[in-house]
Amino acid sequence: MIEDAMLSPDSGNTQPAQANKPAQGGGKRRPAVFLDRDGTLIEQVHYLSDPEQVRVLPGIPEALRRLHEAGFACVVITNQSAVGRGMFPEERLHDIHLEMNRQLAEEGASVDGIYYCTHAPSVEDRTAIEHPDRKPAPGMLFRAAKDLNLDISASWMVGDLISDVLTGINAKCRGSILVGTGKGLTEKEAGLNFSFEKADDLLSALDLILGAGQGEETTRPSPPDQAEPHSELEGSAR
C-alpha cells in the first residue's frame, strides 16, 4: 500500500511515496473507488489534527473488504488545507493516517493509497478550481491512476461534499456518489444543475457500485461552467 502521496501546495511537485509502489504499466488496469476521508471514512472533525480523535465510521471496514473482493482498488483522496494554513505540521497528518490504517487493519480492512493536497484556497466556493490537485480538480485521481494502474472510466468517486462529487465528474469517472455521513451540501450547492447518486453511507453506496457491474456505463454529466476540468498535470501530483 502507498501510505501517503503528498502533492505540494504550490508547485504541484510530487513528494516521495512509499517504496512498495507498484510498477507502472504492468497488467490490466483495474477499477477503483476513490474515497474522501473526513465524513466519509472517518468521523467529521473540523480541521482534524489529533490522531486520538480518529474514529472510523461504522460499516467502513466491511465496505472496503467487499470492494476489494469485487476487484476494486480503494484510494483515499483528501484535501488538507490545514497543513497549508500552518495549523499543524505535515508529520501530524501522517500520524492521523497511521491511526486510521491501524483501526481499519483491526477489522481486516485496508486502503491501497492515500493522496492529499495541502493547498489553502483563497475562496470558500467548493465548486471552484484553484489548484490542479485540490478537489474539485481531478489531479489526485490522475496521479493515483498512474501510480496504481487504475482505469478511471470504470471508477467511482465517493464523498460527503460537492467538491467530492465534482471531482469524479471532472475526472470523468463512471459515477459520483454523495454520502450522508458528513457535512453534505449547502442550499446553494443543492440547487446546482448537475446530477450524481446519493447514499446514506459507503456501505449503502456499494449497492450502486456493485449493482452497476461491468456493463453499461452510468451517465457522466458535465460539470458547472466555473469548474473547468484539467485533462493533464504536466508530471505533477498533489
Q: What is the pLDDT of residues 79-94, one digit of tens each?
A: 999 999 999 999 999 9
Q: Tell me whether the omega of the peptide bond preceding residue 16 falls within 30 degrees of 0, making it cis.
A: no
For the chain, the structural domain boundaries read 2-11+27-212
Q: What is the pLDDT of residue 229?
A: 31
Mean per-residue pLDDT for 153-169? 97
Q: What is the pLDDT of residues 21-44, one digit of tens each?
A: 444 456 899 999 999 999 999 999
Q: Give the whole-angstrom CA distance, residue 126 versus residue 89.
A: 24
Name the active-site residue from 4, 10, 38, 225: 38
DSSP H helices in 41-136 = 60-69, 81-84, 90-106
CATH architecture type of domain 2-11+27-212: 3-Layer(aba) Sandwich (3.40)
Q: What is the pLDDT of residue 186?
A: 87
Q: Give the whole-angstrom CA distance, residue 112 versus residue 130.
A: 27
Q: What is the pLDDT of residue 187?
A: 85
Q: What is the pLDDT of residue 7?
A: 53
Q: What is the pLDDT of residue 164?
A: 97
Q: How many CB atoms lie within 10 A of CB 228?
A: 11
Question: Is it the case that residue 220 has pLDDT exceeding 80?
Answer: no
DSSP string, 24-50: TT-S--B-EEEE-SBTTTB---TT---
Say whether 36 is catalytic.
Answer: yes
Q: What is the pLDDT of residues 38-84, one digit of tens each?
A: 999 999 999 999 999 999 999 999 999 999 999 999 999 999 999 99
How much is the mean pLDDT over the chain?
Answer: 84
Q: What is the pLDDT of residue 134?
A: 97
Place of cell 461504522: 58
Question: Is it the case that residue 143 has pLDDT exceeding 70?
Answer: yes
pTM of structure: 0.82
Name the active-site residue from 4, 36, 133, 147: 36
